[in-house]
C-alpha cells in the first residue's frame, strides 16, 4: 500500500443536504485495493447517506467520485455494480423461497439458449465460495439458513457480479459473536485477494479487530482518521462523540435483596404454532441487574411484553413482590411499581406527534397532580416537564417541541425520565440504548445503575452483548425461547455467553 | 440494528426549531383549507364561464359573426357578467342582498339553520378522526337520533295516558332519546371494531342501510300519521319542541294543532326566522368537545389511541374502551344533529328526511382538520353554499350542481393537500412555520 497505488475508489468533497440537515459535509477519502477501511460513527453521523451516494441511491449535491482514477457517474445501483462496487445492506435482499444458487444468479442468469444453465451457475457459485472461504450450501433454500449464512450469500451475490469493492453496512448487527468472528475472517480473506472493503459500524471493538484504516464521521463530517493498531477504544469513542466518554460503567458489586419478580414456566406459541417462549423461569432480586443476552428474535420481546401485560399468556405465572400479575392489564401492572423502557422507542415508547411535555405524562396523566377533578392541571404538567427536562438533560429548545423532532438519544431520555420518576420496584429496560449516541448511552447506563443501587430489581434485555456485560450482575441467555443458561457476571465471559447465544450448550455446565 | 435511513431526522441539531410565539398558529393550520376553498371556487368560476346556458347569450348567427371564435369572443363581457352574478347570487342567497337590508336576517338565519346539523354531525366525525377511526355512519346515527327523538316527542304522553307532559320533562326526554339512539348506533360498530376487528367503515355503511330501512318501516307502520297524505309521523308535542329564537306565531291548524314555542314573537316578516335553539346546542357541543379533547384525560386517551395505539396500550390506556367510547360519543353527536332537525325545525319526521347530512359531515370534518373550533366555519361555509345555491339558480339559471362541483373540489384539494401546496408553493409546515417559495423549482 504505497502512495503511488491508484486508489480503487476516491471520493472528493461529497456534500448532501437534507431538509434541515447537512448529512454529508465535504467528505473526502480514498479506498485502496486490498484494504479494509472502517467508517465509524454514531447513528446519524452520515455513514449510510455516504454509502447510499456511492451505491447510486442518492444524488450528491456536490463532489465527485473517482473509480480506479477515473471520474465516475453513479446514477443507480446497476451503475455501481457495473463499476465494480457492491454493497451488502443491513436488510438482506434475498428471496427466502429460492435456493442459494438461485438467489446469487438472480438477474444475471447464465443461459443455454432459452434455458437456465443451472449446472454451470452452480459450478461458478461453488468456485467462488471455495476461492474466498465462504462456505454455503448451494442448493439449500435461503429461508432455512441462519442469518450468518444468509449474509455470506449476499456477499457471494456481489462477488458473482465481479465487484472489486464491497460496502458492508453494519454487517454485525444481527450476528452472534461467533458469526461475527467468522465474518471478519472472510473479510480478511477478501482483502488478501485484492478486494477493497468498506466496513460501516458503530462498534469500537470490531473496527480495532478487523480494519486496516479507520475514518471517523461525526455530524456529516470526517473528524479524523485513525490507525487501528495504535488508537485505543477510548480515543475512537472520543472522536465519535467529540469528548471523552467513560465506556466502562462505574458500579459497585450488587447487593441483592428479596425476589421482586418471579417468573415461572412461561410458554407461548405464535400464530403459526411455533414456540416463542419455552418454559421460561427467572427470578430478579431487588438491587441487582439481571441481563438477558441473546440474538434478537429469540423470545426476549415476548418475555418482556408478558411481564408488562402487553402479551397474553396461555400458561405460566408471573409474580411481583409475591402478588400474581399474570395477564393483568398493563396499567394495573404499572401501578404496582413497574417501570418499562420498551424496545421500540418511536413506535411504542412515545407519541412522536406529541410534545415532550405530553409524552412525559403519557402513563400518569390521569392521576393527581396532573389531573385535578375532571380536567388537566396544566401548571403541574408544565412543572413536571421543566423539572424532568433539566434532571435528565433532555436537549430541546422547549417543552412543547414534538418528541418526533428530537434525536434518538433525547427521545430515549424522555422515556427514561418518565419511567424512572414513578414509585417503582421493578425496572424493565429493553434495548435501552439502541441506536443512540454514546453520550446518551453513558447517561442512561448510569441512570440504570442508580436505580439498581436504590434497591430496584432491574431486568435488562439487550442485543448488544457489551451492554449486558457492562451492566448486569447476572447474565441469562435466551435461545429459541428458552433460557439456556444463567451465569454470574464474573463467569460470563464474552466467549461463554457467545456460545450460549448460538445455542451451543456447555457440557460442563449442566 | 440501527436505522440510518432516518439520518436526517436523527442528526437534527438540538437547538432548532425556535419556540416561536405562535400568535397566528391557527393560520398555519387554516392556510391549506382556505386555499383549497379559493381554488375550488376559482375552478367553479371557470366552469360557469365556459358553460353558460345558450339562452343567456346572444345566439350564434353566421351573418353577424364571422366565425364561432368571433362569436365566442363577443360573448366574453356577457359571460363575465353572468359568472359574477352567479357568485353574487350565491352570496346574497346565503347572507342577504346587502342593497336591501331587510333580506339579510332571513338569509343569515337560513344559513345558520342549514349549518346547525353540519356543526353537530361534523363534530361527530371529527371525534372519530381524532381516535383514528373513520365513522362513515354519521348518516345512520343521525337517522336513529331523529327516530328516537320523534318517538318520544310525538308519542311519549300517550304512553303515560296523558294529553301532554310539561316542557321540563318532555323536551329533555326527547333530546336524550335522540342522543341515546344515535349513541347506541355508534357503539355497535365501535364494539365490533374493538372486539372483533371488523372495520368500522364497512360496519357503519351497513348500519346506515339498516337505519334507513328501520326508519322507513316505522314511518310507514306504527309511527305513521294516518291522517296525513305524506308519509310522515304525527307532529311532535309543542312541549317537546326546541324553541325558535324569533318568529311570527305559527298557525296551529297547519301543525297538527300544536303551537310551537319561540323566545321572541314578532309580526314583522323581516324577523320571521326559522333559526332555533339547535344552533345554541351546537355551539355548546363545540365548546364541550373542545374542552373534552384538550382539557381532559378522556380526550387525551382518544387522541393518543388515534395517534399511536401501540403507545396508548403501553401507557395503560384501554383501546377497547376508548374506541367504543369515541364511537358512542360520535353517534350521540350525530344523533343530536338528527334530533335538532326534528324537534327544532321540522316538527315531524318524513320518509324523505334523509338528506345526506351525515355524508357531508365527513367533508366538514376533513375541511376543519378535525379541530372542533374549526368545525364552525367549515359548517357555516357548507351551509352558506347550500342556502345560496337556490338563489343563484333563480338569479342566473346556473344549476345548483355547480355547488356540488365546488364542494367536491374542496374535498379533493383537502384530501390531496399536496396539490394545493404545489399550486401555491407552500412548503410542508416544519416546526410550525410556513414558507412561501416563489420559484418553480423544488
What chain B holds in terms of domains, given with CATH numbers, is 24-91+398-442 (no CATH), 105-385 (1.10.3470)
CA A463 to chain centre: 7
In a domain, A3, yes or no: no
Interface-testing mutation among B6, B7, B287, B319, with chain A (most A C-beta atoms within 10 A)? B7
Write phi, then psi, for A39 (nearest 5 degrees): -110, 120
Distance CA A215, CA A223 (A): 8
For residue B434, give every residue at least 6 positions away whose Cβ sits within 8 Å of its Cβ, in sequence order, or none.
Answer: B28, B31, B426, B427
Is some CB atom of chain B closer than 8 A to the CB atom of A275?
A: no
pLDDT higher than threshold 90 for residue B64: no
**Residues of B in Cβ contact (< 8 Å) with A307:** none
Q: In this predicted structure, what is the pLDDT of residue A508? A: 41
pLDDT band of B142, cuts 50, 70, 90? very high
The grid cell for B328 is 358512542
User: Best mutation site among B20, B316, B442 for testing chain A: the one with the most A CBs within 10 Å?
Assistant: B316
Rg (CA), chain A: 25
Collapsed DSSP state (helix, strand, coil) of residue A261:
strand
Q: How far apart are CA B283 and CA A155, in angstroms?
A: 66
Domain presence at residue A66 = yes
Out of B1, B12, B295, name the one closest to residue A376 (CB).
B295
Residues A261 and A326 in one domain: yes
CATH of the domain at A66: 3.40.50.300
Contact predicate B391/B90, CB 8 Å: yes
Cβ contact A299:A307 at 8 Å: no
Q: Is residue A438 part of a domain?
A: yes
Q: Where does residue B355 rank: exposed (0-12), middle (13-18), buried (19+ CB within 10 A)?
A: middle
Split at pLDDT 50, 70, 90, the class of B438 is very low
Contacts (Cβ under 8 Å, ≥6 apart) of B422: none
Residue B295: list chain A partners with CB under 8 A.
375-376
CB contact under 8 A, A170 and B1: yes
Contact assignment for A330 to B314 by CB distance below 8 Å: yes
CB within 8 Å of chain B, chain A residues 210-239: 219-220
Interface of B with A (CB under 8 A): 1-12, 14-19, 291, 295-297, 300, 304, 307-308, 310-311, 313-318, 430-431
Is residue A235, in this structure, part of any structural domain at all? Answer: yes
**Residue B161 cell numbers, joined:** 295516558
Q: What is the DSSP letter of B161?
A: T
Owner of C-alpha cell 355548546: B284
pLDDT of residue A112: 65
Q: Using an 8 Å CB-CB cutoff, list chain B residues near A412.
A: none
Taken as a whole, chain B contains a residue count of 442
Same domain, A408 and A466: no
Q: What's the N-to-C CA distance of chain A in angstroms?
A: 51
Instruction: Report the largest interatomic distance among the alpha carbons of chain A, rounded to a whole angstrom.
Output: 81
pLDDT at B25: 67
Q: Is the same domain home to A165 and A229?
A: yes
Cα–Cα distances in angstroms (integers) from residue B432 to residues B17, B20, B327, B343, in the given order:
9, 9, 30, 43
On chain A, the residues whose CB falls within 8 A of the CB of B318 are 329, 331
Phi, psi dihedrals of residue B436, rounded to the nearest 5°: -90, 130
DSSP A35-93: -EEEEE--TTSSHHHHHHHHTTSS--SEEEEEETTEEE---SHHHHHHTTEEEE-SS--
Q: Residue B146: its pLDDT value, please?
A: 96
Cis-peptide into B17, omega within 30 deg: yes
**Is there a single domain that holds both residue A227 and residue A303?**
no
Do the domain assignments include residue A4? no
Same domain? A123 vs A204:
yes
CB contact under 8 A, A354 and B431: no
Same domain, A352 and A393: yes
Distances (CA, A) of B89 to B53, B288, B381: 16, 36, 15
| A204 plus A215 within the same structural domain | yes
According to the model, what pLDDT value does residue A110 have?
A: 63
C-beta atoms of A435 and B7 within 8 A: no
Per-residue pLDDT band at B13 (split at 50, 70, 90): very low
Same domain, A377 and A472: no
Return the bridge partners of A480, or none: none
**A1 in a structural domain:** no
Nearest CB to B296; choose among A21, A351, A375: A375
Mean pLDDT of B327-340: 97
Residue A378: domain span = 346-422
Q: Which residues of A touch B9 (CB under 8 A)?
A: 21, 404-405
Give buried/exposed letters for A116-125 (b at 16+ CB in 10 A, else e): eebeebbebb
Confidence (pTM): 0.76
Q: How many domains does chain A have?
A: 3
Q: Is the domain of A146 the same as that of A230?
A: yes
The whole-number pLDDT of residue B23 equals: 57
Quick one: A252 and A386 in the same domain? no
In a domain, A2, yes or no: no
Q: How far apart are the first and last CA of chain B?
A: 33
Alpha helices in B14-137 (DSSP H): 25-50, 68-74, 76-95, 104-130
Q: Measured between alpha carbons, how far is B231 from B217 in angstroms, rounded to an integer?
A: 11
C-beta atoms of A407 and B12 within 8 A: yes
Contact B10 A395 (CB under 8 A): no
Residue pair A66/B33 in contact (Cβ under 8 Å)? The answer is no
**From the CA of B303, how many Å to the nearest CA of chain A?**
10
pLDDT score, position B441: 30
Domain stop point among A394, A422, A450: A422
Give the per-residue pLDDT at B17: 40
Share of chain B above pLDDT 70, in %: 90
Domain co-membership, A398 together with A324: no
Nearest to B11 among A220, A351, A365 (CB): A220
- Indicate the Cα dihedral angle A339, A341, A345, A350, nearest 10°: 10
pLDDT at B77: 87
All residues of chain B having their beta carbon less than 8 Å from the beta carbon of residue A407 are 10-12, 14
Distance, in Å, from the CA atom of A179 to the CA atom of A78, rounded to the nearest integer, reads: 29
In whole numbers, what is the pLDDT of chain B averaged over residues? 86
Domain boundary among A214, A241, A268: A241
Q: Is residue A284 part of a domain?
A: yes
For residue A76, which of A68, A66, A62, A87 has the smallest C-alpha distance?
Answer: A87
B21 pLDDT above the threshold of 50: no
B209 falls in which pLDDT band (50, 70, 90)? very high
Nearest to B151 by CA among B355, B349, B351, B352: B349
Q: Pick from A403, A422, A441: which residue ends a domain?
A: A422
Q: What angle do CA A145, A149, A153 make, to 5 degrees?
A: 105
Angstrom CA distances, A396 to A211, A346, A393, A437, B71, stand at 36, 17, 9, 15, 66
Yes or no: say if B12 and A21 are a contact pair by the CB < 8 Å rule. yes
Distance CA A161, CA A125 (A): 11
How does pLDDT run along chain A (510 residues), one tens digit per residue? 445 678 899 999 999 887 656 789 999 999 999 999 999 887 667 888 899 899 988 889 999 999 988 998 898 888 898 899 999 987 788 888 898 888 888 877 666 666 777 778 888 888 888 888 888 888 888 888 888 888 889 999 988 888 999 999 888 877 878 888 889 999 999 999 899 999 988 777 788 889 999 998 887 889 888 888 888 877 787 777 665 555 677 788 888 899 999 999 999 998 777 889 999 999 999 999 999 998 777 899 999 999 999 999 999 999 999 999 999 999 999 999 999 999 988 889 999 999 999 999 999 999 999 999 999 999 999 999 999 999 998 888 889 999 988 888 889 999 999 999 999 999 999 999 877 777 888 899 999 999 999 999 999 998 778 889 999 999 999 988 999 999 999 999 888 888 888 777 655 444
Cis peptide preceding A369, ω within 30 of 0? yes
Listed by number, the residues of chain A in 37-96 with a beta carbon closer than 8 Å to a beta carbon of chain B are 43-49, 90
* Confidence tier at B236 by pLDDT (50, 70, 90): very high
User: Which residues of chain B lie closer than 8 angstroms to A467, CB-CB?
Assistant: none
Chain A residue at shortest CA distance from B428: A19
pLDDT of residue B214: 95
Mean per-residue pLDDT, B74-81: 86
- Do both A119 and A166 map to the same domain? yes
The shortest C-alpha distance from B426 to chain A (Å) reads 15
CB B353 within 8 A of CB B215: yes
Q: Which of B4, B314, B317 sits opposite A44 (nearest CB)?
A: B4
DSSP H or E run through A378: helix A378-391
Closest by Cα among A287, A238, A237 to A261: A287
C-alpha to C-alpha distance for A3 and B428, rounded to whole angstroms: 49
Q: Quick check: A43 and B3 CB within 8 A?
A: yes
C-alpha cell at B381: 361555509
A220/B9 Cβ within 8 A: no
Amino acid at each position: 500500500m504505497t502512495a503511488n497505488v491508484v486508489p480503487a475508489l476516491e471520493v472528493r468533497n461529497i456534500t448532501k443536504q437534507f431538509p434541515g440537515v447537512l448529512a454529508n459535509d465535504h467528505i473526502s477519502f480514498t479506498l485502496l485495493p486490498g484494504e479494509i477501511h472502517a467508517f465509524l460513527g454514531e447513528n446519524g453521523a452520515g455513514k449510510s447517506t455516504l454509502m447510499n451516494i456511492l451505491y447510486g441511491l442518492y444524488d450528491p449535491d456536490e463532489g465527485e467520485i473517482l473509480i480506479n482514477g477515473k471520474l465516475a457517474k453513479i446514477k443507480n445501483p446497476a451503475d455501481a455494480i457495473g463499476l465494480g462496487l457492491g454493497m451488502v445492506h443491513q436488510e438482506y435482499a434475498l428471496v427466502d423461497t429460492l435456493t442459494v444458487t438461485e438467489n446469487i444468479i438472480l438477474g444475471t442468469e447464465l443461459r443455454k439458449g432459452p434455458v437456465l444453465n443451472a449446472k454451470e451457475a452452480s459450478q461458478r457459485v461453488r468456485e467462488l465460495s471455495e476461492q474466498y472461504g465462504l462456505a454455503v450450501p448451494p442448493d439449500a433454500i435461503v429461508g432455512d439458513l441462519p442469518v450468518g449464512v444468509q449474509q455470506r450469500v449476499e456477499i457471494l451475490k456481489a462477488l458473482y457480479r465481479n465487484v472489486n469493492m464491497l460496502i458492508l453496512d453494519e454487517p454485525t448487527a444481527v450476528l452472534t459473536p461467533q458469526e461475527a468472528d467468522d465474518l471478519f475472517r472472510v473479510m480478511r480473506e477478501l482483502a488478501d485477494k485484492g478486494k477493497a472493503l468498506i466496513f460501516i459500524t458503530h462498534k469500537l471493538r470490531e473496527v480495532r479487530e478487523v480494519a486496516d484504516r479507520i475514518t471517523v464521521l461525526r455530524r456529516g463530517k470526517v473528524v479524523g482518521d485513525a490507525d487501528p493498531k495504535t488508537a485505543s477504544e477510548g480515543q475512537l469513542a472520543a472522536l465519535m462523540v467529540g469528548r471523552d466518554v467513560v465506556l466502562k460503567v462505574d458500579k459497585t458489586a450488587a447487593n441483592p435483596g428479596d425476589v421482586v419478580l418471579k417468573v415461572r414456566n412461561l410458554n407461548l406459541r405464535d400464530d403459526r404454532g411455533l414456540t416463542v417462549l419455552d418454559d421460561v423461569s427467572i427470578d430478579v432480586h431487588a438491587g441487582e441487574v439481571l441481563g438477558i443476552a441473546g440474538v434478537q428474535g429469540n423470545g426476549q420481546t415476548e418475555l418482556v411484553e408478558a411481564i408488562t401485560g402487553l402479551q397474553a399468556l396461555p400458561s405460566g405465572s408471573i409474580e411481583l413482590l409475591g402478588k400474581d400479575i399474570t395477564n393483568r392489564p398493563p396499567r394495573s401492572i404499572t401501578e404496582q411499581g413497574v417501570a418499562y423502557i420498551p424496545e421500540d422507542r418511536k413506535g411504542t415508547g412515545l407519541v412522536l406527534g406529541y410534545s415532550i411535555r405530553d409524552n412525559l405524562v403519557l402513563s400518569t396523566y390521569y392521576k393527581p397532580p396532573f389531573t385535578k377533578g375532571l380536567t388537566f392541571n396544566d401548571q403541574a404538567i408544565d412543572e413536571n416537564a421543566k423539572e424532568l427536562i433539566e434532571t435528565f438533560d433532555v436537549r430541546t429548545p422547549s417543552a412543547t417541541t414534538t418528541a418526533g423532532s428530537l434525536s434518538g438519544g433525547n427521545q430515549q431520555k424522555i422515556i427514561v425520565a418518565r419511567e424512572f420518576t414513578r414509585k417503582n420496584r421493578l425496572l424493565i429496560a429493553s434495548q435501552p440504548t439502541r441506536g443512540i449516541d454514546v453520550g446518551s448511552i453513558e447517561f442512561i447506563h448510569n441512570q440504570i445503575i442508580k436505580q439498581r443501587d436504590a434497591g430496584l430489581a432491574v431486568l435488562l434485555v439487550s442485543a448488544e452483548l457489551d451492554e449486558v456485560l457492562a451492566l448486569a450482575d447476572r447474565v441469562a441467555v435466551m435461545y429459541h425461547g428458552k433460557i439456556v443458561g444463567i451465569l454470574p457476571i464474573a463467569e460470563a465471559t464474552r466467549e461463554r455467553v457467545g456460545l450460549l447465544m448460538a445455542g451451543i450448550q456447555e457440557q460442563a455446565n449442566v | 440494528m440501527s436505522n440510518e435511513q432516518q439520518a436526517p431526522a436523527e442528526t437534527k441539531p438540538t437547538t432548532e426549531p425556535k419556540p416561536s410565539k405562535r400568535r397566528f398558529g391557527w393560520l398555519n393550520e387554516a392556510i391549506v383549507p382556505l386555499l383549497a376553498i379559493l381554488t375550488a371556487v376559482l375552478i367553479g368560476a371557470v366552469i360557469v364561464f365556459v358553460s353558460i346556458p345558450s339562452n343567456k347569450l346572444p345566439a350564434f348567427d353566421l351573418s353577424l359573426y364571422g366565425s364561432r371564435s368571433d362569436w365566442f369572443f363577443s360573448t366574453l363581457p356577457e359571460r363575465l357578467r353572468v359568472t359574477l352574478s352567479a357568485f353574487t347570487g350565491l352570496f346574497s342567497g346565503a347572507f342577504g342582498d346587502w342593497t336591501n337590508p331587510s333580506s339579510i336576517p332571513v338569509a343569515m338565519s337560513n344559513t345558520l339553520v342549514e349549518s346547525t346539523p353540519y356543526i353537530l354531525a361534523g363534530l361527530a366525525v371529527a371525534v372519530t378522526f381524532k381516535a383514528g377511526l373513520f365513522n362513515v355512519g354519521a348518516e345512520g346515527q343521525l337517522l336513529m337520533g331523529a327516530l328516537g327523538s320523534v318517538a318520544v316527542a310525538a308519542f311519549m304522553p300517550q304512553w303515560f295516558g296523558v294529553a301532554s307532559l310539561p316542557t321540563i320533562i318532555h323536551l329533555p326526554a326527547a333530546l336524550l332519546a335522540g342522543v341515546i339512539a344515535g349513541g347506541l348506533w355508534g357503539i355497535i360498530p365501535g364494539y365490533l371494531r374493538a372486539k372483533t376487528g371488523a372495520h368500522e367503515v364497512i360496519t357503519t355503511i351497513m348500519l346506515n342501510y339498516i337505519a334507513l330501512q328501520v326508519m322507513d318501516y316505522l314511518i310507514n307502520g306504527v309511527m305513521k300519521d294516518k291522517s296525513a297524505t305524506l308519509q310522515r309521523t304525527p307532529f311532535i308535542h309543542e312541549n317537546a319542541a326546541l324553541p325558535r329564537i324569533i318568529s311570527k306565531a305559527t298557525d296551529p291548524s297547519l301543525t297538527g294543532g300544536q303551537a310551537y314555542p319561540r323566545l321572541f314573537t314578532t309580526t314583522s316578516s323581516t324577523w320571521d326566522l326559522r333559526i332555533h335553539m339547535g344552533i345554541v346546542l351546537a355551539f355548546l357541543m363545540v365548546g364541550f368537545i373542545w374542552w373534552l379533547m384538550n382539557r381532559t384525560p378522556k380526550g387525551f386517551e382518544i387522541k393518543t389511541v388515534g395517534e399511536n395505539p401501540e403507545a396508548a396500550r403501553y401507557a395503560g390506556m384501554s383501546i377497547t374502551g376508548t374506541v367504543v367510547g369515541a364511537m358512542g360519543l360520535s353517534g350521540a353527536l350525530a344523533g343530536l344533529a338528527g334530533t335538532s332537525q326534528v324537534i327544532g325545525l321540522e316538527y315531524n319526521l318524513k320518509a324523505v328526511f334523509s338528506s345526506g347530512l351525515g355524508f357531508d359531515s365527513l367533508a366538514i370534518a376533513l375541511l376543519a382538520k378535525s379541530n372542533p373550533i374549526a368545525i364552525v366555519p367549515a359548517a357555516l361555509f357548507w351551509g352558506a353554499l347550500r342556502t345560496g345555491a337556490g338563489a343563484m339558480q333563480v338569479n342566473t339559471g346556473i344549476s345548483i350542481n355547480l355547488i356540488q362541483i365546488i364542494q367536491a373540489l374542496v374535498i379533493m384539494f383537502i384530501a390531496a393537500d399536496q396539490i394545493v401546496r404545489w399550486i401555491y408553493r407552500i412548503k410542508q409546515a416544519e416546526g410550525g412555520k410556513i414558507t412561501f417559495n416563489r420559484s418553480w423549482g423544488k
